Amino acid sequence: MPDPATLYGLLGIVLAGLGVHAAIVQRDSIRRLLAINVMGVGVFLVLIATAYFGPDQDPDPIPHALVLTGIVVAVAATALALALLRAFERSEDE
């Protein structure tokens, strides 16, 4: 019977691949931002899946801390990217 850690880890790799594909193929900047965020979620999923040891053993807390930091940094970067896009579009109007 497949182990949930393996299943979710593979799903994380697939999600990261989807994110990379969309980031390259999509032309619109906000869609590329969404793609990068989905890539991030895929990477986090691999990290957390490898930290999971089943219902009997406590999970490894260090990847948890890494992913928590990663979520905050990803949102900060997304916010900066959106502000840059806004400034860019505004300068195109002028």
Partner 1 sequence: MTPGALLYLDLLMMGLMLVLAVGALYARSLRHAVILFIVFGLVVALVWARLRAPDIALAEAAIGSGLAGALLLAALRDRRRGAESAPRSPAWQVVAVGAVVAGLVLLLAWAFLDLQGERANGPLADTVRANLDVSGVSNPVTAVLLNFRAYDTLLELTVLLAALLGVMSLGPQRPPMDAAEPMAAGLIGWLIPLLIVAGSYLLWVGAHAPGGAFQAGALLAAAAVLADLGGRREFRLPGQTWLRLLAVAGCAVFTLVGLAALIGSGVLLQLPPDWAGSLILLIELFATASIASALFLVYLGGHPPSWNSREGHPDA
Please give the residues from 38 up to 57 whose contact with partner 1 meets the rule CB under 8 A. 38, 41, 44-46, 48-53, 55, 57
What whole-number distance in Å separates Cα of residue 2 and Cα of residue 34?
31
Instruction: Rule CB under 8 A: say whether 10 interacts with partner 1.
Output: yes
Distance in Å, CB of 56 to partner 1, minimum = 11
Instruction: Yes or no: say if 47 and 66 are a contact pair by the CB < 8 Å rule.
Output: yes
Short-list 51, 71, 54, CA closest to 62: 51
Instruction: Rule CB under 8 A: say whether 36 interacts with partner 1.
Output: no
Contact pattern from residue 63 through residue 82 relative to partner 1, giving x for each residue in contact according to CB under 8 A and a dash for the rest: -xx-xxx-xxxxxxxxxx-x
